[in-house]
Amino acid sequence: MKAILFASCALLSACVSGGDPVLRREFIYEPGPHPQIHATTIAETPAGLVAAWFGGTREKNPDVGIWVSRQVDGGWTPAVEVANGIQPMNKDGLQVRHPCWNPVLFQPRQGSLMLFYKVGPSPQTWWGELRTSDDLGRTWSPARRLPDGYLGPIKNKPVQLADGSLLCPSSAESAEKNSRWTVHFERLALDGKTWTTTGPINDGVAVQAIQPSVLFLPGGRLMALGRSRQDFVFATESSDGGRTWSPLARGSLPNNNSGTDAVTLADGRHLIVYNHVAGTPGKWGGLRTPLNLAVSQDGKDWRAALVLESDPGEYSYPSIIQASDGLVHITYTWKRQKVKHVVVDPSRLVGRPIVDGRWPL
């Protein structure tokens, strides 16, 4: 990498001395041209970090587009809308605009920076689109609609496998009144054109789950975990490169029917960022505070590492990556108004036991 980000505390305007694992907290986006934001994503390119989110009047409004900011010289560029849901004129000469949803940035080992996102009136009717950038996020290609039936990574980043293909964690929400939430996995071949799919791997009734993240386990195995309607983070494993998966199982962490994200670190440990709070019976979901970071050696026994937010408000839909210098970058929705960015030194994380589902004080 030509630009190694945050290589030392001297480069951090808000560096914390001592053993605090949090090196920096900042807002990438302050309230501006789009009053509501959600669903952040972050990636590292050879030129630095790039972040994206969807923003507009409010979620589901037709004016919601995908906005991007790049980190340059330690600061973030003004947000630029790089995608919207404007459709070609119909036969009556009318032009329709649909909202955009859930951007996912990914920088493969070779090739262009990728921006996956969804377009459509609702999660039950949306479709996947892809734009690419050959200049590290400055400009973007025209939108390319994914093949029918493919959505791309639904919220969280894909992982690149040993053969160069991308394994995209995905999910679907059916259109009936009691919507079925199912998890599946899509694979994009090294040629960048050939898509295949696995799943759904659950019936969407016994365990209603969406928005998985993929972790790497020893021996070439994979684990996926994510959001459910059953008040727990679900988990599933694959021993054949994501072609088949075990039944969805109940993980050890609570879930409030809100998005999570996870990453496997270079040292083999795993991190998950999520709201450590269960749902509210009879309601859509639980509070989206606090926002927490947990660490695990095996993806099953999770230990408390950090509380990122604990005040009243919504802190949700996080994204997490480990950069080439070893530091961890987390972005998330801050009260639907701002994009928060936190930099963590994982070597300073100390995990404490979570007993009976209670976060230690």
What tens digit of pLDDT does each residue of 167-182 get? 999 999 999 988 999 9
Query: CA geometry: angle at 118 spanning 135 and 31, to 5°?
Result: 75
pTM for the whole structure: 0.93
pLDDT at 16 over 70: no
Q: What tokens does 4 get?
A: 């190694």
pLDDT tens-digit readout, 307-352: 999 999 999 999 999 999 999 999 999 999 999 999 999 999 999 9
Can you tell me which residue has the tokens 């300073």? Answer: 348
The candidate with the shortest Cα–Cα distance to 296, out of 324, 261, 330, 262, is 262
pLDDT, residue 33, reads: 85
In the structure, what pLDDT confidence band is assigned to residue 231 with cuts at 50, 70 and 90?
very high
Whole-number Å distance between alpha carbons of 206 and 186 = 23
What's the average model confidence in pLDDT over 252-257?
95
Q: At which residue do the structure tokens 């670190």 appear? A: 265
Alpha-carbon span 245 to 234, nearest angstrom: 13
Closest alpha carbon to 115 in 137, 98, 100: 137
Share of the chain above pLDDT 90, in %: 88
For 28-80, how does the pLDDT look when each residue is reduced to its tens digit (9 = 90+)? 998 788 999 999 999 999 999 999 999 999 999 999 999 999 999 999 999 99
Tell me the C-alpha distance between 66 and 131, whole Å.
11
Cis before 290? omega within 30: yes
pLDDT of residue 5: 35
| pLDDT score, position 285 | 72
Are 129 and 104 contacting, i.e. CB atoms less than 8 angstroms apart? no
The residue with greater pLDDT, 281 or 266, is 266
| Predicted pLDDT of residue 245 | 98
Cis peptide before 212 (omega within 30 of 0): no
Sign of CA dihedral 110, 111, 113, 115: negative
Cα distance between residue 117 and residue 274, in whole Å:
21
| Rounded (5°) CA angle 177-195-173 | 10
User: Does 15 score more than 80 pLDDT?
Assistant: no
Residues 184 and 172 sit within 8 Å (Cβ to Cβ): yes
Q: What is the DSSP string of 129-182?
A: EEEEESSTTSS-PPPEEPPTT----SSS--EE-TTS-EEEEEEEE-SSSS--EE
Residue 88: DSSP 8-state: P
Side chain identity, residue 347: S
The string of pLDDT tens digits covering residues 97-125 is: 999 999 999 999 999 999 999 999 999 99
Tell me: pLDDT of 9 over 70.
no
Higher pLDDT, 188 or 1: 188
189-230 residue pLDDT tens: 999 999 999 989 999 999 999 999 999 999 999 999 999 999
Single-letter residue type at 289: T
- pLDDT of res. 282: 64
* CA nearest to 317, candidates 14, 101, 27: 101
Q: Which of 8-12, 177-181, 302-306 has the highest mean pLDDT?
A: 302-306
The pLDDT assigned to 32 comes to 82
Q: According to the model, what pLDDT value does residue 1 have?
A: 36
pLDDT at residue 280, as a whole number:
76
State the sign of the Cα–Cα–Cα–Cα dihedral 258, 270, 136, 71.
Answer: positive
Which range in 13-22, 92-101, 340-349 is most confidently predicted, on average pLDDT? 340-349
Tens digits of residue pLDDT in 235-247: 999 999 999 999 9
Count how many Cα atoms sit within 13 Å of the Cα of residue 287 in the half-sphere of its side chain: 11
Model pLDDT, residue 281: 66
